[in-house]
Structure 1
């Protein structure tokens, strides 16, 4: 059975998190009014290769959409995810080109 994770918006640390039990996977962000800049994604090495990063990004994008924020994906991993899942390009700030 596939592991489910619950997204936590840790506003104090300015990051979205998954509690992995022994560690945390995170996406760091900067929020400025109606824009959110995703700056860095990190999954502990011990949890790498399990799709956790992709699940974290997907839930983060769902949160951003629900909050009606405009996304500026500065993290290359997030930008790559969006290029592979173009349905999320509608969240991205106009003028930012994601191949």
Structure 2
């Protein structure tokens, strides 16, 4: 399933709502470096690949905008380690 993740630039996060549960990936932006600070998926919708989709979308957005990424969030750090196609984005 392909999710239409929402890029909420005003709140500096990526969002997805499933079964009335909001999942988010929060970030901060300093210059051209996106620092991923938190990925949160409620337990009620856990295990569905939502965190992976949020992270992939955030990384693809960073690439398209010419940003580097600093993964402070442990989930994002592991995701990048497991997906070498994104390792060139690491600041």
- Shared fold (TM-score greater than 0.5)? yes
Q: How many aligned residue pairs are there? A: 91
State the structure with bigger RCO (CA 8 A, min sep 6), 1 or 2.
Answer: 2
CA displacement at 1:87 relative to structure 2: 1.2
User: Could you say which residue in structure 2 is the equivalent of 1:9?
Assistant: 7
The whole-number CA distance in structure 1 between the counterparts of 2:62 and 2:40 is 18
| Structure holding more helix per residue | 2
User: Could you say which residue in structure 2 is the equivalent of 1:87?
Assistant: 85
**Contact 1:5/1:19, CA 8 A, preserved across alignment:** no
User: Could you say which residue in structure 2 is the equivalent of 1:34?
Assistant: 32
User: Could you say which residue in structure 2 is the equivalent of 1:46?
Assistant: 44
**Contact 1:7/1:60, CA 8 A, preserved across alignment:** no
| Structure holding more strand per residue | 2
Is the partner of 1:12 in helix, strand or coil? helix
CA displacement at 1:26 relative to structure 2: 0.6
Q: Deviations over 1:59-88 (max 9, x none)?
A: 111111111101011000000001111110
- Tell me which stretches of 4 or more aligned residues in structure 1 moved more than 3 Å: none
Q: From the CA coordinates, give the structure whose radius of gyration is larger.
A: 1
Q: Alignment RMSD, CA only?
A: 1.2
CA displacement at 1:39 relative to structure 2: 0.2
User: Could you say which residue in structure 2 is the equivalent of 1:96?
Assistant: none
**Contact 2:39/2:75, CA 8 A, preserved across alignment:** yes
